[in-house]
Amino acid sequence: MRSWQRGVGRGLLLALFGLLPGCAGKGFWLFHPKGAVAKSEWHTTILDFSIMGAVVLVAGSLVVWFLWRYRRGCRPRNYDPTFTASKIIELLIWGVPLMIVGFLSYSSVTGVLATNPYNPLAVKRAVGHQQAVHEAFSRRADPAAIDTVSPAGAKVRPIPIDVITTDWQWVFIYPREGLATVDSLVVPVHTPIHFRLTSATVVNDFFIPELVGEIDIMPGMRTKQTMIAGKTGFYHGFSADFSGGGFSWMGFKTHVMSMRRFHLWVARVKALPTRLTAARFSRLAQPTINLAEKPRYFSGVEKGLFDHVIEQVLAGRVYRTPLRMTEKMTRPMKVKLVK
């Protein structure tokens, strides 16, 4: 076997082994969406990649065919000096690209509408599907009540959650439940989650690859995001925008559970004695590489804290990062771990 053939074989083998971890479901989070928005994004990505891959494959194959067919030394081909145009060729070189661009434009528009952070159609479809399933089970349980069951009876009430980023922690406030968490997001399955997001320091990106796409979080501004999880479990969330020395540790655990377990979790947190006030948030927002106190829970939250943080940023409030946390990061990390 020639050396170049052996090299190609080894390269393909290495590529195969590189793809095997994705089969285990660990890592490659984008390849395993568990939320309606993430699934819609993944579907659009696969569709666009497949179409463009087909275009590249066809174009590359034609180039190789022309090079082989008209190479030097091959038998002469017919030459027609009177040839000026071909309707078939014109139709192919103009019609096919226009159809591809039109289809990609349509898929892009539908993909954007499905994942629009402020009103994603993917979440509406997921809620509609859950209502249809509820109606079907209700009719099966009581056929006599077929005329009395309506999808509105299964309407799921969205849960609002306020998200505030600091250097380098995540604060999640549940206004309706009146509690807050740090570096821990807990939500019920099959329930729309409406996020309001802001930053107390610098720009960050809110990203849970398996559930929802990333969105910028900017200081002094309010951003929105919506998601719905289709399966219980633990998912990894993090900031996708570099924000300083503690960026690598700025992650949070997302726990998706049943609605019954979610209510039990709320009751447990509400029984705690801690409360998140504006003064306590000011201490919490100081630059911290949090490795020892993850997560933290607060049974109460000062009313209007989210808006207060935005007003403080607009007024010029700054949480300065000590040099020891940028130039010599190992020391504060070790101190935090010892504590």
> pLDDT confidence of 87, banded at 50, 70, 90?
confident
Q: Is the CATH number of domain 159-338 2.30.29.30? A: no
Mean per-residue pLDDT, 59-73: 84
Question: In angstroms, rounded to a whole number, what is the distance separating the alpha carbons of residues 141 and 126?
Answer: 23
Strand segments, DSSP code E, in 122-189 are 159-165, 170-174, 179-182, 184-188
Neighbours of 88 (CB within 10 A): 7
Residue 48 contacts residue 42 (beta carbons within 8 Å): no
Per-residue pLDDT tens digits for 191-240: 999 999 999 998 999 999 999 988 999 999 999 999 999 899 999 999 98
Which pLDDT score is estimated for 151?
40
Cα–Cα distances (Å) from 159 to 97, 154, 173, in that order, read 45, 15, 11
Domain range annotation of the chain: 28-72+86-115, 121-154, 159-338
Higher per-residue pLDDT: 186 or 333: 186
Q: What is the pLDDT of residue 335?
A: 42
**What is the structure's pLDDT at 339?**
40
pLDDT per position as a tens digit, 16-57: 555 554 444 456 777 888 888 888 888 888 888 898 899 999
For range 106-132, the mean pLDDT? 78
Find all residues with CB under 8 Å of 286, minimum gap 6, and list them: 166, 319
Whether 305 and 284 have beta carbons less than 8 Å apart is answered as: no
pTM score > 0.85 for this model?
no
Q: Given a cut of 90, is residue 162 above it in pLDDT? A: yes
Question: Of 171 and 67, which is predicted with more confidence?
Answer: 171
- Give the integer Cα–Cα distance in Å for 232 and 226: 17
The burial of 157, by beta-carbon neighbours within 10 Å (0-12 exposed, 13-18 middle, 19 or more buried), is given as exposed
CA distance 87 to 46: 33
Predicted pLDDT at 319: 82
Token couple for 86:
């071909």
The CA distance from 25 to 336, in Å, is 33
Over range 140-155, report the average pLDDT. Answer: 45
pLDDT of 117 reads: 83
- DSSP class per residue in 4-68: HHHHHHHHHHHHHHHHGGGGGTSS-GGGS--BHHHHHHHHHHHHHHHHHHHHHHHHHHHHHHHHH
Token reading at 150: 């309506």
Q: Are 188 and 256 in contact (CB under 8 A)?
A: yes
Mean pLDDT value across residues 114-125 = 80
Distance separating alpha carbons of residues 327 and 325, to the nearest angstrom: 6
Name the phi and psi angles at 75, rounded to 5: -70, 150
Confidence bin at 6 (pLDDT 50/70/90): low
CA pair distance 220, 315, nearest whole angstrom: 9
CA 278 – CA 291 distance, rounded (Å): 23
Average pLDDT of the chain is 80
Q: pLDDT-derived band of residue 153, with 50, 70 and 90 as boundaries?
A: very low
